[in-house]
Amino acid sequence: MNPLHLATQGGHVDVCRLLLDSFPLTCMGHGADVTGLNLIHVAALKGNVDGVLRFFLSHSSSYAAVKQRLADDDRNTMLHLAVKMMKQECVHYFVSENKVKSLHKNNRGESELDLAGNKRK
């Protein structure tokens, strides 16, 4: 993980902003970690909607680089991860703000709705 991933994981919006403003090429050159998780995925796993997640999705320069890789190595989208981790606020944000345009199937053939249905059982 690079410093931007760590700041994202810790929910430190000010540090993320400082890193992106000070070292944009360095930060964006490492958009995904070794498992394919990008900054949006890390934020979704943590469920921090009002912090780093909202920042990345509204900060045009960071989102432009991140959106090129919407799925991790297992083809899980940010919505897959939020559903898996039961981050209801993130799921609501992604859907209500139209951040997710369509459903995707991961490597296991599961859509985000499939995962949500499994969580209810």
Domains annotated on the chain, with CATH: 3-119 (1.25.40.20)
User: Model-level pTM?
Assistant: 0.62
d(CA 81, CA 32): 15
pLDDT in tens, the chain (121 residues): 778 888 888 888 899 888 887 876 566 555 667 777 777 778 878 877 778 777 877 765 555 555 545 677 888 888 888 888 888 888 888 787 766 666 788 999 998 888 887 765 5
